[in-house]
Structure 1
Amino acid sequence: MQDDPFSDFLNLISARSVLSGGLVAGGPWAIAIPPPDKIKFWGVVRGNCWLLIEGEAAPIHLEEGDVFLLSAPRAVVMASDLAAPLVDLDDVLKYRVGAVAHHGTGDDCFVIGGNVELNAEYGQLLTGALPPFIHVHAGSRRAQTLCWLMDQLIQEREDDPPGAYVASTQLAHLMFIQILRAHFETTKPLTAGWLRAVTDRRLSPALRLMHNDPGRSWRLEELARAAAMSRATFALYFKTVAGIAPMSYLTEWRMRLAEQAIRENSVHIGDIGRSLGYTSESAFSNAFKRVTGRPPMRFKNAAG
């Protein structure tokens, strides 16, 4: 199976999901969660609770099977009763047993949570295009898959079979992708930009061509044909979705790949340029500086 544009995008931003643990709580309780420095997501395995997000007027009620993602660095209160005495998350985690923390009296509510780490250079391409939070309801199209993933995550933690950490990491990443898919399917069109482009089905055939062979001198007619559009319709539609023209997108994609290759420090700059379709090192350097704001050697020195 060939990579698809959204998979390429996730690789570019180095998205990596990790299951952070679980919370079992009962009785009246309220926990203050500080603003995260990563994308956070939670799934309600059992029971229900409230989320009060900094900057939002109304609390959000989460029911069994609901999943919630927080992409903005905002403080959150998670509670069975928002009037209950507030306890800091760090104080709750002091009494954690393994990966699960217990709070309050009983086990009415069971929530699991995860983090998503992103490349510092490109992570904004995702977080800048997402709303501050995403709520996937238990009755939605993706809910059955998300519930299955939560069950598998719990099973891995409880049984602790060989490879449990790797399996849990991959399951958590699948959960993150399913949350994003649910968002793409139910929200109004995203703001024009990279994320909207790589998730657009009509543009996907053309983007696959550019991503799989970025060094080729693609013509607009070839890309339009792949997307089953006329040249003029394709150019207009592409700019509406991506915010830039097709050839500008191709140049930017080449420069993202070049930045990755330069960071790896294993290939000569001239060879990187030739692999991306530039006939000379000077032509590549000029294009790189035009897109990134600095020449390749300065970028390399800054990257260490």
Structure 2
Amino acid sequence: MDPLEDVLALLETRSHLSTSLVAGGQWALRFNAPSGVKFNVVRRGACHLQVEGADEPVALSQGDCYLLTRPRRFTLSSGPEAEPIEAGPVFARAESGVARTGDGDDVMLIGGSFSFGARAQELLLDALPPVIHVPAGTRQARTVEWALTAIGDELLHRPLASTLVAEHLAVVMLVHVLRLHLAREPRAVSGWLAGLADPAVAAALTAIHDDPARPWTVAELARSGAVSRSTLAARFKDTIGQGPLEYLRRWRIELAARQLRQSTTTVAVIAHTVGYGSESALSVAFKRAMGLSPRDYRRHLGSV
């Protein structure tokens, strides 16, 4: 399994589609900070996005999409001259899944959000910039456009299971947006995501994710990327911020935590499946990383 797929699966990525927005004339809506990762797609017309804390607004055209990866208030508008009103009451009056504001229907947006498991902030969101904008009309955006068009068709024609299909397509869109962002701006991400932009580091990450229980050495991981041991260690540290074996240990802890959350498998068995020789070895490493022993971690989850 490749690292991006692996982490998104570990985070239990889910999409949730929200009410569409149709607007026209001079208009502006102010939105509360989203609880998850917010996305919108401009299916018709053009508008502006202003995110709290950002210096400049983002001009959005037909086919553009964006992700908001931080819980920040934001405004969508026809332009800076429009006085914003709160979006909540407008969406509360929505009919047939469409909210309307302004005068006319020259702008239409499809939106939604992505929710993740408890580890998303550290493993994914902290590695991303607050706003990711994917403009239409570029070669890289074509794969995203396919998913967006399919989502629009599902919501417009409402065939059987349309909501379920559209939500799965939204996750497909998320994967494509992350891929495109990595290809376009590899220096705008950090952590393991940044490592995916370096071929040698990406090869080592893939090897780790393919077989996390294997007793890897830095030399073996370096061979997977066709570089020397010292080169891999330096590039791994430069892009990801930690060494290959430190990353391996942390990933094993994440896998162990998932099993503790999702199964009743004994700690001893979990230790073996993630590459620790004994329950005590896992317990020491787990408590160092998570602040709780595996048993206390599972007990705490059961009490929430």
1:273 matched residue in structure 2: 271
8 A Cα contact 1:142 1:178, kept in partner: no
CA distance in 1, matches of 2:189, 2:100: 41
Residue among 78, 94, 97 paired with 1:96: 94
- Deviation of 1:118 after TM superposition, in Å, equals 1.6
2:204 matched residue in structure 1: 206
- Deviation of 1:272 after TM superposition, in Å, equals 0.7
1:139-165 deviation digits (Å, cap 9, x = unpaired): 333322222322211111122112212
- Deviation of 1:239 after TM superposition, in Å, equals 1.8
What letter is aligned with 1:194? W
Residue among 127, 134, 137 paired with 2:135: 137
Residue among 173, 176, 179 paired with 1:175: 173
- Deviation of 1:189 after TM superposition, in Å, equals 1.6
1:241 matched residue in structure 2: 239
1:165-200 deviation digits (Å, cap 9, x = unpaired): 221011111222222222212225245422223454
1:254 matched residue in structure 2: 252
Extract unaligned runs of 5+ from structure 2. Answer: none
In the TM superposition, 1:21-170 aligns within 5 A as 21-170=19-168
2:262 matched residue in structure 1: 264
Q: Which moved more, 1:92-101 or 1:186-195?
A: 186-195
8 A Cα contact 1:18 1:173, kept in partner: no
8 A Cα contact 1:69 1:135, kept in partner: yes
CA distance in 2, matches of 1:218, 1:4: 17
Q: Which moved more, 1:183-192 or 1:285-294?
A: 183-192
8 A Cα contact 1:30 1:86, kept in partner: yes
Q: Normalised by the size of structure 2, how large is the TM-score?
A: 0.92
CA distance in 2, matches of 1:53, 1:243: 28
What letter is aligned with 2:8? L
What letter is aligned with 1:238? F
**Which segments of structure 1 move beyond 3 Å, counting only runs of 4 or more?**
198-201
8 A Cα contact 1:137 1:143, kept in partner: yes
- Deviation of 1:287 after TM superposition, in Å, equals 1.9
- Deviation of 1:264 after TM superposition, in Å, equals 2.0
Secondary structure of residue in 1 paired with 2:124: helix
Alignment RMSD (CA, Å): 1.8
Secondary structure of residue in 2 paired with 1:202: helix
Greater helix fraction, Structure 1 or Structure 2: 2
Q: Which moved more, 1:132-141 or 1:191-200?
A: 191-200
Sequence identity, in percent?
Answer: 38
CA distance in 2, matches of 1:234, 1:151: 41
1:18-46 deviation digits (Å, cap 9, x = unpaired): 22231111111111111111111111111
CA distance in 2, matches of 1:108, 1:62: 13
Compared CA separation, residues 251 and 81, structure 1 to 2 (3 A): closer
1:4-24 deviation digits (Å, cap 9, x = unpaired): 111111112222222223111
- Deviation of 1:94 after TM superposition, in Å, equals 2.4
CA distance in 2, matches of 1:194, 1:207: 8
What letter is aligned with 1:234? L
Q: Which moved more, 1:78-87 or 1:130-139?
A: 78-87
1:196 matched residue in structure 2: 194
Secondary structure of residue in 2 paired with 1:142: helix
Compared CA separation, residues 209 and 62, structure 1 to 2 (3 A): same
Compared CA separation, residues 280 and 147, structure 1 to 2 (3 A): closer
Compared CA separation, residues 61 and 223, structure 1 to 2 (3 A): same
Residue among 263, 288, 293 paired with 2:286: 288
Q: Normalised by the size of structure 1, how large is the TM-score?
A: 0.92
